[in-house]
Structure 1
Amino acid sequence: MAIKRKIEIFTAGCPLCDAAIQLVNEIACPRCEVSVLDLREKGAMARARAIGVVSTPTVAADGRIIDCCKRGEVDRAALAAAGVGQP
């Protein structure tokens, strides 16, 4: 059975967040399980705190924040390097 890669996108409804969601969805593979967590909704903030999200947009793969997001920028190459879009 194929293992799913869990991709979480932490957002706050801004245009940069929308662009990050679009980028992740463009490159996600069938084995990528993409979730959008809007920090304005109940429960999302607890998950964000649990993995160390400090700004939006932030993308995490399998529970780890992708390096580009630590710098405040979602980058296609960094997402790919983290395994987004790869089985």
Structure 2
Amino acid sequence: MKRSIEIITAGCPICEPVVEQVRQQACPSCEVTVLDLRQPDAARRARELGVSSLPSVAIDGLLAGCCHSRGVDFDTLRAAGLGQPGAES
């Protein structure tokens, strides 16, 4: 099963380094999607996830713990599954 990684951004230069770093650390079977909040569907998804700061990252449909208030922390993202294949179904 593919691991789903969603990166929520404002489509700005400040978010771009996080996008690139997440892409680099994602496993080959990870499906990485960038959600630009300037797009209505992305804004709707961000609300569903409970995003309150940018950039934020959700792994397998759950907002990473670091993204609730502190900002992106790659140790927390790795603990949530970044860089690891998803569980077999």
How high is the TM-score relative to the length of structure 2?
Answer: 0.88
Q: Which residue of 1 aligns with 2:70?
A: 72
Q: How many aligned residue pairs are there? A: 85
Q: Which residue of 1 aligns with 2:25?
A: 27
Deviations 1:27-74 (A, max 9, x none): 000111000000001211111111111121010001111011112321
Q: Is the 8 A contact 1:58 1:72 kept in 2?
A: no
CA-based RMSD of the aligned residues comes to 1.1
Fraction of identical pairs, as percent: 54
Q: Is the 8 A contact 2:5 2:33 kept in 1?
A: yes
Matched, 1:5 2:3: yes
How high is the TM-score relative to the length of structure 1?
Answer: 0.90
Q: Is the 8 A contact 2:53 2:69 kept in 1?
A: no
Q: Secondary structure at the match of 1:50?
A: helix
Consecutive unaligned residues in structure 1, runs of 5 or more: none
Distance 2:82 2:35 in 1: 17
Distance 1:4 1:73 in 2: 25
Greater than 3 Å deviation, 4+ residue runs: none
Which residue identity is paired with 2:74? R
